[in-house]
Structure 1
């Protein structure tokens, strides 16, 4: 089994070390100083119980790596459509694309059933780049839970979590899903195959939709954002609007909004990824996390007044910083 991790930053690098240490045939696509460090010195993972360094096959040119059985995409959502053509040398007749990307996935309505079956989402897949360039039948969904960071080129620090939930768009426990689950489990990762992966997508999206833009606008950490009455109320309003959309699409939430917000507060003094991107002057992941939910609101005739306001504000904040759109 050949596995390529495309976008081997913090999460991709963490997964790569785990797989390589377990003896998997894994390669990494990265760039810049991080790639140079991996090629020169291997990839180092710092965990609570110690450190691991592994030699890895890494390149910025997919042609060096050849056709893969699985391509696990761990880029930020907005970074994927432009690189679809570059990824083609990795893709053969039986290659599975594992979409480990935050937000509403581009394949959401593939094998969804109902009136919106096959609907394509412009907010996360402009110009249908992924739908046409990968093909939705190749996709295996993945909800990524670990937190990690690149502390210096070639060095990953694992913060928490080791679960990568997998799921077919139609909910089947397919042979390809079970085979990848086994490979990840053999590497010490949790990789359950879920019959209703969209439910998990929405529970994670609840937090990303609300906590990320509010934190970018206020610079508040999660503990403050989730306990201050004002910002908590804004997050709650966004979540309730999202819940109405999701339930119209058949999603079942295993917890309620207040428990989800309390879970965010329990994380403590954490700066969300969108706030980190803003402060580090990196493009902000607004469309997959927020615009996509607004688009789904339009598709399901669901008003999203709170989401609309926060989205307008965070877009403007990002534009002023030169980190979003034109």
Structure 2
């Protein structure tokens, strides 16, 4: 059994924490507001993909980081990339002397160039860590890389609906198979997840990002689902152009994609009428996750001197949408005509 801290109990944090707790792990959620009250009162409830409810009160919920400093073998960061900076110092304080950090964000991570090798080794990804605060508090040497594939939803405070997916591939940043990465893999496996230890976690990050950097902003800008984008010729062509540019960037960084571009688009099409997380964010009036998913690729394109005109254009548009929403304190969603 490991002592595990999960910062955030939203869709992914709640799913992981619930599964781990149900498997007998010692889980503490670090949360605020309604989620804190709900988990303290009732524990965590997980509705599985078949609609069956599983509940456990064998979890703790806290907002007192200082009171539990130095206690955790694993600290899982289960929030969006642009939210990590605000909790970085608090998260670091939770780590035991041999504890590890498991970031569960989409996009290019702040640690990407740590132990990367080559001319860009040690470069800070400013799109993921603009001020350097995250790296200063959460050293890359303590990080186990992780890629998040499951889809889930926070139904209400303390209640998570698992939609589909089981994979959380993990890996050391230098590609080795260490005792600590195996311990993370084993814990996730006990929770019922598929968590293979990979020797190139960056290639898996790019495979996930390949779709996110493309479909998320297009979906957000057009208020369209994955199948809509893939089955409308011009938007499918735009997606393919963006993915081709991203692949050129990744190739210069030594990445090989294990699936073809067309297969990746076909996979998105099969998901059907699914609203991407970025579309859900703008509909709810939340800040969309743009820089980690799109801005980071633009940044890496400049570092590798790779032209990315389609990605640059879409990035400019979605950043303007974010700015306008923020200034107007508004959300964006299609409303039926009455």
- Show structure 1 runs of 5+ residues with no match: none
Q: Counterparts of 1:175-214 in structure 2 under 5 Å?
A: 175-214=179-218
CA RMSD of aligned residues (A): 1.4
Counterpart position of 1:2: 3
- Tell me the TM-score normalized by structure 2: 0.94
Which residue of the partner structure matches residue 103 of structure 1? Answer: 107
In the alignment, which residue of structure 1 is the partner of 2:34?
Answer: 33
After the TM superposition, list the runs of 4 or more consecutive aligned residues in structure 1 that deviate by more than 4 angstroms. none
SS in 2 for 1:69: strand
In structure 1, which of residues 264, 281, 284 is the aligned counterpart of residue 285 of structure 2?
281
CA gap 1:57/1:64 in 2 versus in 1, 3 angstroms: farther
Find the aligned partners of 2:243 and 2:127 in 1 and give their Cα distance: 19
Q: Is 1:75 paired with 2:79?
A: yes
Structural mapping, 1:135-174, within 5 Å: 135-174=139-178
How many residues align? The count is 325
Partner of 1:54: 56
Shift of 1:323: 7.9
- Residues 323 and 59 (structure 1), Cα distance of their counterparts in 2 relative to 1, 3 Å cut: farther
CA distance in 1, matches of 2:236, 2:25: 44
Shift of 1:59: 1.2
Aligned match of 1:113: 117
Deviation at 1:245, TM superposition (A): 0.5
For 1:306-321, list aligned pairs within 5 A. Answer: 306-321=310-325
Q: Secondary structure at the match of 2:96?
A: coil
* Residue aligning to 1:18: 19
SS in 1 for 2:109: coil
User: What is the TM-score when the length of structure 1 is the normalising length?
Assistant: 0.97
How many angstroms does 1:65 deviate by? 3.2
Distance between the aligned counterparts of 1:135 and 1:47, measured in 2? Answer: 35
Report if the CA contact (8 A) 1:222-1:269 is conserved. Answer: yes
Q: Structure 2: how far apart are the matches of 1:182 and 1:139?
A: 16
272-281 vs 93-102, greater mean Cα deviation: 93-102
Write the deviation string for residues 117-171 of structure 1: whole angstroms up to 9, x where unpaired. Answer: 1110111111111211111101110001110001111110000011111011100
**2:97 paired with 1:93:** yes
CA contact (8 A) 1:149 1:157 kept: yes
Contact 1:283 1:323 survives alignment (8 Å) = no
1:181-230 Cα deviation digits (max 9, x unpaired): 11111121111100011111111101110100001100011001111111
Q: Give SS of 1:241's match.
A: helix
3-state SS of the aligned residue for 1:321? helix
1:167–1:177 Cα contact (<8 Å) kept: yes
Is the contact made by 2:46 and 2:160 (CA closer than 8 Å) also made in structure 1? yes
Match of 2:229 among 205, 222, 225: 225
Equivalent residue, structure 1, for 2:335: none
Q: Distance in 2 between matches of 1:198 and 1:302?
A: 19
State the shift of 1:88 in Å: 3.2
Contact 2:75 2:91 in 1 (8 A): no
Distance 2:26 2:133 in 1: 28
Matched residue SS, 2:97: coil
